[in-house]
Amino acid sequence: MRRSSSTGRSAVPEQLGFPGMPQRLFVCTPSKLGTYTDCPRRYRYAYVDRPTPPKGPPWAHNSLGASVHTALKNWFDLPADRRRPGVLPTLLKATWVREGYRDVEQERAAWRAALAWLDGYLAGLDPAFEPVGVERVVAARTAVLALSGRADRIDARVGPDGRRELVIVDYKTGRGGADPDDARGSQALALYAFAAEKVFHAPCHRVELHHLPTGVVAAHEHTDESLARQVRRAEETAADIMAAEAAVTEGADPDTAFPTTPGRLCSWCDFRAICPAGSSAEPKPPWSAVESTLRPDPSSRPTPAPD
């Protein structure tokens, strides 16, 4: 489905318009692009079909992740002299999302785990440490994309050459853990780094996954080339999406233009119940991933949910 523009610089489908008319940019977030890469049909359900088809019930692992992320944001909103472990229960209570848990007992266990993760993680940080941005929206344009996204945290550090460099930090709360390959392969992190560099006019090559349950930090140092490669891939994905949308506008069957890609993610898909391919996937209860995160025996780990 990929077609190149006449300049060969980007994979943009040809569009009707007047000579000299500016190219319509594809407005997107890394999450939107990732949804299409995972499954074009899921993208259609989430971003094209209106009204949006009914989703399944809320997932407990999303509630847990959102609670911890917001508590961390609120930690950095406090003045440095109030950032003490004693405030964590209050912060977490204020941000706690209750949806999706099996029962009150599981929710309480998740709350205790989340508090312990925050306690352990923040014990390793100087309370006076001020990131450049927390839950910070960064945005950038390319010849094809109008890209924006919210980075969990952007830090500034002194690089090996003595220059100030930015670092993209992404918190993980799932059982899946994090390793350098995850950091290297994450298109979202690379796009945040690309956009942060434009917004702050400072180099940004390092991306880090901070896995709260274990305290593991998985890092990758991008090069200008590897960031450019990820941007090119994002442009190609955008071109595919625009081509599929144009095909539907011109009368193509939407089911053909946005095919299903059945696989592991189907069990965790919000649209499994209405998708023809989803019916063959094993249904997961909304609390399933949290149950596995809280399970003490790592050898019985099931396939992790998307983090």
CB nearer ligand SF4, residue 42 or residue 136: 42
Q: Interface residues with ligand SF4 (CB under 6 A)?
A: 39, 41-42, 260-262, 265-266, 269, 271-272, 275, 277-278
Smallest separation, CB 217 to ligand SF4 (Å): 30
Phi, psi of 296 (to 5 degrees): -75, -25
Smallest separation, CB 279 to ligand SF4 (Å): 8
Distance between alpha carbon 259 and the CA centroid of its chain, in Å?
23
Smallest separation, CB 195 to ligand SF4 (Å): 27
Q: Which structure tokens are listed for 139?
A: 């945005």
Which residues pair with residue 208 across a beta bridge? 169, 219
Smallest separation, CB 58 to ligand SF4 (Å): 16
Q: Which helix (H) or strand (E) holds 167?
A: strand 164-172
Q: Which structure tokens are listed for 37?
A: 């890469």
Q: Is 286 helix (H, G, I), strand (E, B) or coil?
A: coil
Smallest separation, CB 41 to ligand SF4 (Å): 4
CB nearer ligand SF4, residue 213 or residue 278: 278
CB nearer ligand SF4, residue 171 or residue 258: 258
CB nearer ligand SF4, residue 55 or residue 232: 55
Smallest separation, CB 211 to ligand SF4 (Å): 25
Q: Which structure tokens are listed for 207?
A: 């991306």
CB nearer ligand SF4, residue 39 or residue 140: 39
Peptide bond into 51 cis (omega under 30): yes
Q: What are the Cα distances from residue 181, in Å, to 184, 217, 218?
A: 5, 12, 8
Smallest separation, CB 38 to ligand SF4 (Å): 7
CB nearer ligand SF4, residue 113 or residue 241: 241
In eight-state DSSP terms, residue 136 is E
One-letter amino acid for residue 56 of the chain: G
CB nearer ligand SF4, residue 114 or residue 275: 275
Q: What are the Cα distances from residue 266, in Å, to 100, 158, 164, 269, 279?
A: 18, 43, 43, 5, 9
Q: What are the Cα distances from residue 264, in Å, to 46, 85, 157?
A: 19, 39, 38
Q: What are the Cα distances from residue 137, in Å, to 29, 50, 116, 226?
A: 10, 26, 28, 22
